[in-house]
Amino acid sequence: MLFKQQAWLRQKLLVLGSLAVGSLLYLVARVGSLDRLQPICPIEGRFGARSQAEVPLRALQFKRGLLHEFRKGNTSKEQVRLHDLVQQLPKAIIIGVRKGGTRALLEMLNLHPAVVKASQEIHFFDNDENYAKGIEWYRKKMPFSYPQQITIEKSPAYFITEEVPERIYKMNSSIKLLIIVREPTTRAISDYTQVLEGKERKNKTYYKFEKLAIDPNTCEVNTKYKAVRTSIYTKHLERWLKYFPIEQFHIVDGDRLITEPLPELQLVEKFLNLPPRISQYNLYFNATRGFYCLRFNIIFNKCLAGSKGRIHPEVDPSVITKLRKFFHPFNQKFYQITGRTLNWP
Ligand code: A3P
């Protein structure tokens, strides 16, 4: 009998303990998300006249709570809609370039109170099967946001996929397009490193970068190698320019985003007509990672996943020189078209 009572008591204590820990975690999360809402200031320009600052904090808290309930399944979509939360098509898309720093750019822009990111790569415009599901399918993949906020998604495959410019144009011909680029040879090596890591994870062997990037028969740069082709930025951009004027693109310097992110982000804020809200406070250098990490508030900060910022394998310097020489004329053309000179070698 005594043993049964003790077991019952132990069980109760366990339940109470879990409840206490759960509530504590919930409170910490709530404080974090509310803190992110508090600094919302008037959002000027084309993204709407009503500002989040005009909405009383209690109303914002209520809406956040409602969203939380919705995610838990306790609130209907109608109730959420009634309180202004909507799934909006993106007003800006990070279309590429793979390994340019697309994730870092999206996460850093998400520090802005008027920006809401689609966390996953949606691959709507580059994947025929997804595209066939229609624009409503795409919209429903978007996160909930307030009408005054803008949604941004990133799918780096868009930049190099033939059909994408026309498809995006059909959705919104005045959409803003962000392209983050890195020095082409470094980007190609980063691209190779990602594939190599995937092979190693499956215990598969893979060619050396040198063997893929240089054609062994001609000893010239192998333009059939995808990592090389993707780095010929101007070729891809020219396809996009058949649909969109150059003013609708903004080029982000991915190398500078690594070493000095704030000025790059401020240029993007300007391009998106957003009031400047991202500050040095939001970005801190993490010496262990060797990269800038994100600070949302006193409680919440985060670094990008370990798959971002891999150590690259050593590449024969003569191959690097050859590649740089190869990319040089394409880079000059890219600077000329975009009006942004990046001083690549
Ligand atoms: P490496 O892994 O070659 O270093 P993407 O998100 O488009 O795949 O780009 C990945 C690249 O983002 C990484 O390439 C890394 O250099 C770069 N990057 C830029 N800012 C970063 C940051 N703050 N943290 C981690 N990686 C960052």
Give catalytic residue positions.
99
Is 239 part of any domain? yes
Share of the chain above pLDDT 90, in %: 75
Ligand 1 pocket test, pick from 99, 119, 153, 295 with the greatest ligand atom count within 8 Å of Cβ, gives 99
Per-residue model confidence as pLDDT tens digits over 188-234 = 999 999 999 999 999 999 999 999 999 999 999 999 999 999 999 99
Is 33 part of any domain? no
Is 151 part of any domain? yes
Is the CB of residue 100 below 6 angstroms from any atom belonging to ligand 1?
A: yes
Is 72 part of any domain? yes
Is the CB of residue 258 below 6 angstroms from any atom belonging to ligand 1?
A: yes
With b for 16 or more beta-carbon neighbours within 10 A and e for fewer, the 140-164 pattern comes to ebbbbbbebbbbbbbbbbbbbbeeb
Is 107 part of any domain? yes
Is 260 part of any domain? yes
Q: Whose CA is nearest to atom 3 of ligand 1?
A: 190
pLDDT at 294 over 80: yes
Is the CB of residue 236 below 6 angstroms from any atom belonging to ligand 1?
A: no
Is 316 part of any domain? no
Confidence grade of residue 271 (pLDDT, cut at 50, 70, 90): very high
State the pTM of this model.
0.82
Is 340 part of any domain? no
How many structural domains are present in the chain? 1
Three-state SS string across 23-77, please? Answer: HHHHHHHHHHHHHHHCCCCCCCHHHCCCCHHHCCHHHHHHHHHHHHHHHHCCCCH
Per-residue model confidence as pLDDT tens digits over 17-42 = 555 555 554 444 433 333 343 332 23
Per-residue model confidence as pLDDT tens digits over 128-138 = 999 999 999 99
Predicted local confidence at residue 84, as pLDDT? 84
Domain containing 174: what range? 64-183+233-310
The enclosing domain of 101 has a CATH number of: 3.40.50.300
HSE value, Cβ hemisphere, 13 Å, CA-based, for 266: 10
